[in-house]
Amino acid sequence: MNSELDFSWSQTKESAERIFAQNTGKYLSDIEMKVLQGSWEGKSYEEIAKTYGYSAEYLNKDVGNKLWHKLSEALGEKISKKNFKEALRRFSSPELRQATNINPPSPTLNAIANLQFPEGSVSLDSPFYVERCNIESLCCETVVKPGSLIRIKAPEMMGKTSLMTRILAQGDRENYHAVYLDLSAADRGILTNLDKFLRWLCLMVSRQLKLENKLNEYWDTDILGSNDNCTVYFEEYLLAETSAPLVLGLDEVDRLFPYTEVVEDFLGMLRSWHEKAKISDIWKKLRLVMAHSTEVYIPLDMNQSPFNAGVPVELLEFEKPQIHDLARLHGLEWDEGQLQQLISAIGGHPYLVRLAMYEISCGKISLTQLLEKAASESGIYSSHLRKHLEILKHNPELALALKKVVNSAEPVELDSMQIYKLHSMGLVRRQNNYVMLRCNLYREYFCRVLG
């Protein structure tokens, strides 16, 4: 009897999940599980793609390649779509493992050895990046579509830049040109002047594409407006000079929001580029990825705003299974009670969770000590909390609005601008026109400092 025929799908799934959990502390993503099951059933990538609505190229070159590479690293042998069944069958059998000298990987040792302080975005090669349900696969599927637009929305420190990095990396894997621009890095004097800002944009894209600066040749200030000049520069030079598609990632778009005249024209231009891609081959080469904290709070014509076009992606807090996986990845074998203690204090806020696990796994503090001091000036979140307090001190009306939320056990109704600002800071959760504090850490801290 063929040994592979004895190996059921449930056994295959269990073996793969054990390997992933022991080697990385993570589990198979939904799309990886679909590729694994389809492969177990003997389906081609084309057949799997047709079943689940993905492109065969994406499942083959991206999901499949990563899946077999991860299994190869974990098992110490070359794994492919053709031989994975037998390899997983050997792994599932202690006798076969011993006979073939296969040892199960050491739980999370590699990840623990590579612990890094959680600041800024999570690097591409970091094992501590937590995938949201289907979001990464949706974005990677979208960015390969001509003229696509992806809008990433989330409060501060929720993982927008980390996700954008992975979308741009997908562009790299497709041999596209990927350009990342952080608008928070631009001088205020540039952001407040539309012409300067658009010239800055064109120059920065040119440099990353290794193209000569030809602004003076294309910029016609006598007849054309700034938007028209920028559009011409992209259409006749940047896009024309690149044979492959261009993925343009615009991070921290919020930096433009206070400057009404600039942001209205700029966002209107981006929307026009997205619309051009529906009829123009040259504009189909451009794929836009934008990241911002919340909706832009300025009046925009619906037909001129990019915020009601493209694919919207909202990053939410980590859920309990994701937090549990992250704890295991940090070498923390917490029971349900310990996990719930942390969640009760800080919710599933990605940065707060990562910082707690880093400090505990490094042996600097215990979970009990961390929770006791969390909202104090000597706690690990002191600098994070003081940053928010400093913003509130410069905005007394916003501080009063937050104080109202802090002192209420029920959701509180605030005006739209107050909700917008507090949610952008990540301090509150929204429930229609009402808000409530994001976590007990904020309630305890701001109850003390706001009086």
* Residue 130: inside a domain: no
Segment 392-407 mean pLDDT: 92
Check residue 308 and give left, alpha or beta (phi > 0: left; psi -120 to 50: alpha).
alpha
CA pseudo-torsion sign 185, 187, 192, 194 = negative
Nearest 5°: phi and psi at 290?
Answer: -120, 145
- The pLDDT confidence band at residue 384, using thresholds 50, 70 and 90, is very high
Question: To which residue do tokens 């590479």 refer?
Answer: 69
Segment 173-180 mean pLDDT: 91
Closest to 20 measured CA to CA, from 131, 101, 121: 131
Query: Of the residues 358, 377, 396, which one is the last residue of a structural domain?
Result: 377
* Residue 445: inside a domain: yes
Q: Could you tell me if 15 and 96 are in contact, meaning their C-beta atoms sit under 8 angstroms apart?
A: no
Query: Of the residues 361, 377, 393, which one is the last residue of a structural domain?
Result: 377
Query: Do 290 and 387 sit in the same domain of this protein?
Result: no
Helix locations, 25-83, DSSP H: 30-40, 45-52, 56-57, 65-75
The pTM of the whole model exceeds 0.85: no
Q: Could you tell me if 192 and 265 are in contact, meaning their C-beta atoms sit under 8 angstroms apart?
A: no
Please report, as a single letter, which amino acid is at residue 211: L
Specify the pLDDT at position 27.
Answer: 63
pLDDT for 133 beyond 90: no
Q: Quote the crossing angle between the two packed helices 160-173 and 135-143, to the nearest 10°.
A: 40
Q: Could you tell me if 234 and 154 are in contact, meaning their C-beta atoms sit under 8 angstroms apart?
A: no
Non-local (6+) Cβ contacts of 99 within 8 A are none
Span 189-200, pLDDT tens digits: 999 999 999 999
Q: Quote the crossing angle between the two packed helices 320-329 and 350-361, to the nearest 10°.
A: 30
For the chain, give the mean pLDDT.
Answer: 85
* Residue 121: inside a domain: no
CA distances, 188 to each of 191, 225, 388 (Å):
5, 21, 22
pLDDT for 113 beyond 90: no
Residue 280 CA to residue 259 CA, distance in Å, equals 31
Q: Could you tell me if 31 and 63 are in contact, meaning their C-beta atoms sit under 8 angstroms apart?
A: yes
Please report, as a single letter, which amino acid is at residue 165: T
Count of domains forming the chain: 4
User: How many residues are recorded in the chain?
Assistant: 451
DSSP state of 307: G
Q: Could you tell me if 108 and 330 are in contact, meaning their C-beta atoms sit under 8 angstroms apart?
A: yes
* Residue 122: inside a domain: no
Q: Which pair of structure tokens corresponds to residue 383?
A: 């600098």
Span 209-265, pLDDT tens digits: 999 999 999 998 888 899 999 999 999 999 999 989 999 999 999 888 888 889 889
- The pLDDT confidence band at residue 4, using thresholds 50, 70 and 90, is very low
Span 306-353, pLDDT tens digits: 666 788 998 989 999 889 988 988 888 899 999 999 999 999 999 999
Q: Could you tell me if 3 and 89 are in contact, meaning their C-beta atoms sit under 8 angstroms apart?
A: yes
Query: Do 258 and 152 sit in the same domain of this protein?
Result: yes
* Residue 120: inside a domain: no
Domain residue limits at 203: 135-314
CATH at 184: 3.40.50.300
The full DSSP string for 315-351 is --PPPHHHHHHHHHHTT----HHHHHHHHHHHTT-HH
